[in-house]
Homo-oligomer: A and B are copies of this chain.
Amino acid sequence: MFEHNSRHNNNDETVLPIPSNNETSYFDESWTEDDLKQIIRKMNLKVTPQRILILQTLHEGRVHITAQELYEKVQKINSDVGFATVYRFLKGMAESRVVTELRMGSMPTRYELTPKKHHDHMTCTACGKIVEFQNKNIEDHQEKVAKQYGFKLTHHVLELYGICTSCQMKK
């Protein structure tokens, strides 16, 4: 299995949902400093230079980043940011659903800015490649199940695991 295989590669190559495009990030729009401040205020948090920098770096960087990776990136820009701050802020943003936590297997938690279009993940357990996909049918059925048991859904985690095309051919 993925989580027990120390030989898998470490990149988290991401295949964008069909239709794919050439964007580096989902967020083609750029965020001004005011945008960033707005987002922080909406979380009922005070605006600090650290938080602005962290959020900005998260937005500009690639998706699926770990707290450690984000910390290192931010460090290079301004060493007046501690790991605890990055970590705490990520947690806070996760609570406010500004970012989404991805826990795949037993690897360190990765974060992504919550995309406007919800998607789920399919991971190749051989090479670690992550494919993102959307499927309204699945969502609909989830709601049905929730209703059946009287639950009011807040969110969900759907992760498919398997072997991707190229790994199937290799082996």
Could you tell me which A residues sit within 8 Å of B by CB distance?
Answer: 1, 4, 15, 18, 91, 94-95, 103, 106, 109, 122, 124-125, 131, 133, 135, 137-138, 141-142, 144-146, 148-165, 168
Contacts and interface: CB of A to CB of B under 8 A. Distances in A.
A146 B158 CA distance: 13
Contact of A4 (B95, B122, B125): B95
26 contacts: A4-B91, A18-B148, A103-B103, A122-B145, A122-B151, A131-B149, A131-B151, A133-B149, A135-B141, A138-B142, A145-B160, A149-B164, A149-B165, A150-B165, A150-B168, A151-B160, A151-B162, A152-B168, A153-B161, A154-B163, A155-B161, A155-B162, A156-B158, A156-B159, A157-B159, A158-B158
Q: Is the interface of A mostly helix, strand, loop or mixed?
A: mixed
Nearest to A165: B150
Contacts of A94: 1
Given A18-B148, A150-B165, A156-B158, 17 more contacts: A4-B91, A103-B106, A122-B146, A133-B145, A133-B148, A137-B137, A138-B138, A149-B165, A150-B164, A151-B163, A151-B164, A152-B162, A155-B161, A155-B162, A156-B161, A157-B159, A157-B161
6 shortest A-B CB distances, which residue pairs?
A150-B165, A153-B162, A151-B162, A157-B159, A156-B160, A137-B141
Contacts of A125: 154
A107 B170 CA distance: 36
